[in-house]
């Protein structure tokens, strides 16, 4: 592996200064993507700034703004968090799928987001919960909706010297739930051929869908919201037919490629099926039957 300098700041302001150093500077959270990329010469770095020791980046707590997930907080902590397991269940699903337990103990949700792989497992659920990315940099902090964070494969809106400080997920209303499913050809340790997260807010008395969010992984250059599926669902009475219609509509957001993992046609079919299934899981979690 080519040599690089390493710094492990313990304060946010120290991190801001280090991230603005001249040359190629890369943030490190768990290192499960970055170290591999450096070893394989797919990335270079003059300086690697380890963000794990900064309290703000280890935050995992709910307040009136919603759930704060510090950008260096590992997937295992998020997966086991009681608030996540009651209010953001799709995030518990996705953080429990990343790699293996060993990977989840190191890998951060923020690292998964900043790596910006189209196949990233935690991202679709963050999109369905309308997460906001809080970005720190030399000019202070700014907030960007996660839907606007991804520019292309491996590319984000982060500018020179900027880094992700935390993600904020608004508090979901009562009678809502989310779910995430992916398809891989074996039980674990593989990249999603396709992944879908759904979020539903339903009036249990009338079974009207008050809000729906659907987001897809591995079927476009970036993670994407399936807005046509959301429109099919919102304002309607939930039924098996409506769920099926939403599954078909979700395919409109997919622009998949054909590669060794699956053909474009197969991925579209997975989007249909996983959308239906995740919507079904949301309803089970809310306690509404169809
Ligand atoms: C064996 C194995 C299995 C895996 N399985 C899966 C899987 O099932 N699903 C999945 O989605 N991924 C998987 N991955 C990929 C990886 O584990 C995840 O993407 C992980 O969440 C990355 O987090 P990290 O903290 O390790 O990121 P890092 O490697 O530390 O960083 C990833 C990238 O983001 C940048 N970065 C990190 N933090 C910040 C920040 N705060 N601000 C700005 N930039 C930042 C880094 O510079 C780097 O470019 C796997 C990896 C391995 C090695």
Query: Domain of 40: which CATH number?
Result: 3.30.43
- pLDDT, the chain, mean: 97
Is 111 found in the same domain as 28? no
Counted domains in the chain: 3
How many angstroms separate the alpha carbon of residue 30 from the centre of ligand 1? 7
12 in contact with ligand 1, CB cutoff 6 A: no
How many angstroms separate the alpha carbon of residue 101 from the centre of ligand 1? 14
pLDDT > 90: what percent of the chain?
96
**Residue having the nearest C-alpha atom to atom 2 of ligand 1:** 99
Evaluate whether 274 touches 194 at the Cβ level (below 8 Å).
yes
Is 106 found in the same domain as 45? no
9 in contact with ligand 1, CB cutoff 6 A: no
Evaluate whether 237 touches 139 at the Cβ level (below 8 Å).
no
CATH number at residue 147: 3.30.465.10
How many angstroms separate the alpha carbon of residue 103 from the centre of ligand 1? 9
Evaluate whether 198 touches 272 at the Cβ level (below 8 Å).
no
Evaluate whether 66 touches 42 at the Cβ level (below 8 Å).
no
Pinpoint the alpha helices (H) of the chain. 12-19, 34-39, 75-80, 82-87, 89-95, 101-106, 109-115, 123-128, 227-233, 240-250, 264-286
| Ligand 1 atom at minimal distance to the Cα of residue 123 | 11
How many angstroms separate the alpha carbon of residue 264 from the centre of ligand 1? 25
**Residue having the nearest C-alpha atom to atom 49 of ligand 1:** 115
163 in contact with ligand 1, CB cutoff 6 A: yes
247 in contact with ligand 1, CB cutoff 6 A: no
Is 225 found in the same domain as 182? yes
What is the mean predicted confidence (pLDDT) over 23-38? 97
Is 282 found in the same domain as 206? yes
What is the rounded CA–CA span in Å between residue 59 and residue 39? 30
Position 65 pLDDT exceeds 90: yes
Is 130 found in the same domain as 152? yes
Position 188 pLDDT exceeds 80: no
Position 190 pLDDT exceeds 90: no
Is 185 found in the same domain as 152? no
How many angstroms separate the alpha carbon of residue 50 from the centre of ligand 1? 13
Is 220 found in the same domain as 140? no
Is 45 found in the same domain as 148? no
Give φ, ψ of 272 to 5 degrees: -55, -50
Is 240 found in the same domain as 190? yes
| Ligand 1 atom at minimal distance to the Cα of residue 103 | 17
What pLDDT does 278 receive?
A: 98
Give how far Cα 102 sits from Cα of 29, 32, 72, 195, 252, Å. Answer: 15, 10, 16, 22, 36
Is 146 found in the same domain as 62? yes
Q: With cut-offs at 50, 70 and 90, classify the pLDDT of residue 231.
A: very high
Position 181 pLDDT exceeds 80: yes
What is the rounded CA–CA span in Å between residue 136 and residue 142? 7
Give how far Cα 203 sits from Cα of 3, 119, 175, 243, 275, Å. Answer: 57, 32, 7, 16, 20
Report the Cα 170 to chain-centroid distance in Å. Answer: 14
What dihedral angle (degrees, nearest 10) is formed by the CA atoms of 81, 111, 251, 180?
A: -20
Is 164 found in the same domain as 89? yes
What is the rounded CA–CA span in Å between residue 94 and residue 87? 14
45 in contact with ligand 1, CB cutoff 6 A: no
What is the mean predicted confidence (pLDDT) over 156-181? 98
Question: pLDDT tens digits, residue range 129-157?
Answer: 999 999 999 999 999 999 999 999 999 99
CATH number at residue 192: 3.30.390.50
What is the extent of the structural domain holding 15?
5-50
103 in contact with ligand 1, CB cutoff 6 A: yes
Is 72 found in the same domain as 28? no
């Amino acid at each position: 592996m080519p040599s690089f300098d390493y710094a492990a700041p313990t304060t946010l302001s120290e991190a801001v200064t280090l991230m603005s150093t001249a040359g190629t500077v890369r943030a490190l959270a768990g290192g499960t993507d970055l170290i591999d990329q450096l070893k394989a010469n797919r990335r270079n770095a003059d300086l690697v700034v380890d963000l794990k020791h900064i309290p703000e980046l280890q935050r995992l707590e709910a307040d009136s703004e919603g759930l704060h997930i510090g950008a260096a907080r590992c997937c295992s902590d998020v997966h086991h968090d009681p608030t996540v397991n009651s209010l953001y269940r799709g995030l518990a699903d996705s953080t429990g799928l990343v790699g293996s337990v060993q990977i989840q103990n190191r890998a951060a949700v923020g690292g998964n987001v900043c790596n910006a792989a189209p196949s990233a497992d935690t991202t679709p659920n963050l999109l369905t919960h309308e997460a906001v990315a809080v970005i720190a940099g030399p000019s202070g902090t700014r907030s960007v909706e996660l839907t606007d964070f991804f520019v292309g494969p491996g590319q984000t809106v982060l500018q020179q010297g900027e880094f992700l400080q935390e993600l904020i997920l608004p508090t979901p209303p009562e009678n809502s739930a989310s779910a995430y499913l992916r398809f891989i050809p074996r039980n674990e340790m593989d990249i999603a051929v396709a992944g879908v997260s759904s979020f539903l807010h339903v009036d249990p008395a009338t079974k009207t869908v008050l809000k729906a969010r659907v987001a897809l992984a591995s079927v476009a250059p970036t993670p994407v919201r399936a807005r046509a599926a959301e429109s099919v669902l919102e304002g309607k009475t939930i039924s098996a037919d409506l769920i099926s219609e939403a599954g078909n509509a979700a395919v409109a957001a997919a622009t998949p490629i054909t590669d060794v993992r699956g053909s474009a046609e197969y991925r579209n079919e997975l989007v249909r099926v996983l959308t239906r299934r995740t919507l079904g899981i949301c309803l089970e979690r809310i306690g509404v039957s169809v």
